[in-house]
A and B are shown apart, each in its own frame.
Chain A
């Protein structure tokens, strides 16, 4: 088997694994229909395909509803993190004022020391964040690392002769920064976006499992796993199905990005990323 065929195979595998949870998450709420009356909790059969959950709701309906919050919160958090990290990293890399660079990057060095889940729990103990609050928090813990990466990649691109030539021609800062440097680092950013999205999905699901940013009876795959655990020995489907869907979602994302980012030559973009992080 050649390298490129193996890559296509892994790509197909990633698509196959991620398509089930993704389709359920995005289209599930459309096809769910009217919620039925609540019945006895943790029963099997009885007109309920996957049984009932801890308060007697139909598990299949909950599954159809429960993917959307996970996926949307994660996507929102990922986009938000880059919205902050991109300008901060670009300005820090391209500015000639040393104090500005220090001012932008030093606070991030300090913030990066705090474990991400700890920060989320800390805030959750004082406020009661909703889905938007959770997305903001997850974005916040991702900003330091993302900004560092953007700065490292942009510093390398800004040291090229092209940038000097652009400056000599009197091009505007905007054209140099966004038009050239921004475009040059796109590939590195793409590689980073893959790993970051996996990490964001992990954090969003784990926080929801611990009860942060969600209602205690929310239709959310992670909340379902947590709340239905008490009935695991009576009615395992209410736990196993959402847990499997979360596994498929995270694993699929990781496989897909890994296959997509591998170049035909076999060398990974991730390797470049690591090199840039060190600088």
Chain B
């Protein structure tokens, strides 16, 4: 396929990405409009004293018409102005800045380990297809694939922190400087890795098994190309395209996982900030975080689709 095909695909995919971003912003904004009755009264919840209701109305500019509020809020977003918290009166951007470090560290560590482990295991299993290693790893990934992070997480804590005493059960008391306490990071990263590794492994393995059985690999072997070179320069690139797309779908899982893992191991990241805001019905903070998470997902999915398209133009990524 010519470069023009890719370019028009990227243009269409960008357009979809813009539409998705607009939709995320609109959906998040609509949330306050969906509140039954007077939004300020509904949000005051258990403490419905007039002063607090007036403060909420003031903070969220509820006395102004809907379209003005939407315009103000949406135009503030690109400049990093996400509004102010109802609970503390601090700007929402400060909440995001505080929680960003730990979450980024968790996500970066997970992705950095996910790619080599997923690909390594996939290639290894495909190389010994039907052998003991393949059957063992395949069965294990099939079993772990479906397990919710919180259930796996508490079981790991029970074994490694309670029974064996090797690792700390939570990150309580370590603050945001988690790198100084690597032992506290072992279990969270392990739990975060559990589901994505399984799905990536299965895709790479399936792709490699297909590729290794293909005529061009047989041909390369007949020419006497060394086995390792056949595997890594001929077969692996063809197993990459579906895996690249899966890596993007993994973002959704990683995000769910980060929220659960931060709650489970008491890590002060964005997930914890989000859960606290949900519990306190601090709508501006929830909205700000939802926009950050939503736009991040849209951008990463877009990137992964373009990479997948570049690797395998014929596969036809939907756009």
A→B interface (CB under 8 Å): 10, 109-111, 113-118, 121-127, 148, 198, 201-202, 205-206, 209-211, 222, 225-226, 229, 232-233, 236, 239-240, 243-244, 246-247, 250-251, 253-255, 258, 271, 274, 278-279
Contact = CB atoms under 8 A, between A and B. Distances in A.
Interface stretch (B2-10, B31-39, B212-220): B31-39
Contacts of B19: 109-110
Interface of B: 16, 19-20, 23-24, 27-28, 31-32, 34-35, 139, 142-152, 154-155, 157-158, 162, 169, 206, 242, 251-252, 255-256, 259-260, 263-264, 274-275, 277-279, 281-283, 286, 290, 293-294, 297-298, 301, 315-318
Contacts of A279: 316
B145 A210 contact: no
A239 B317 CA distance: 43
Nearest to B153: A243
Contacts of B286: 121-122, 125
Nearest to A229: B154
Nearest to B286: A125
Contacts of A255: 142-143
21 contacts: A109-B318, A110-B19, A113-B20, A113-B294, A114-B23, A114-B24, A114-B27, A118-B255, A122-B27, A125-B283, A126-B34, A148-B318, A198-B146, A209-B148, A210-B263, A232-B162, A233-B169, A236-B158, A240-B158, A243-B151, A278-B316
A274 B239 CA distance: 14
Contacts of A111: 23
Contact of B147 (A115, A123, A247): A247
A135 to B, nearest CB: 17
Contact of A114 (B143, B263, B294): B294
Contacts of B35: 126
Contacts of B145: 198, 254
Contacts of A123: 31
Nearest to A222: B150
Given A118-B255, A244-B151, 18 more contacts: A113-B23, A114-B27, A115-B256, A117-B255, A117-B256, A118-B290, A126-B32, A201-B146, A209-B260, A210-B260, A210-B263, A222-B148, A226-B150, A232-B157, A232-B162, A246-B151, A271-B206, A279-B316
A87 to B, nearest CB: 21
A278 B315 contact: yes
Contact of B155 (A211, A226, A247, A274): A247
A225 B151 contact: yes
A83 B298 CA distance: 27
Tell me whether chain A's interface is mostly helix, strand or loop, or mixed: helix
Looking at B32, B150, B158, B283, the one whose CB has the most chain A CB atoms below 10 A away is B150
Nearest to A13: B139
B154 A232 contact: yes
Contacts of B28: 122
A189 to B, nearest CB: 19
A148 B249 CA distance: 15
A209 B259 contact: no
B277 to A, nearest CB: 7
A233 B27 CA distance: 42
Contacts of B275: 121, 210
Contacts of B16: 109
Contacts of A239: 154, 158
B293 A115 contact: yes
Given A232-B158, A232-B169, A258-B142, A205 B148 contact: yes
Contacts of A110: 19-20, 23
Contact of B252 (A115, A222, A247): A115
A258 B146 CA distance: 12
Nearest to A197: B146
Contacts of A229: 154, 264
Most chain A CB within a 10 A radius of its CB, from B255, B256, B263, B298:
B256
Contact of A206 (B150, B162, B242, B283): B150
Contacts of A201: 146
A279 B294 CA distance: 26
Given A113-B294, A117-B259, A122-B290, A253 B316 contact: no
A159 to B, nearest CB: 16
Nearest to B251: A115
Given A211-B279, A232-B162, A233-B162, A122 B242 contact: no
A236 B156 CA distance: 12
B278 A225 contact: no
A124 B282 CA distance: 12
Nearest to B32: A126
A255 B147 CA distance: 12
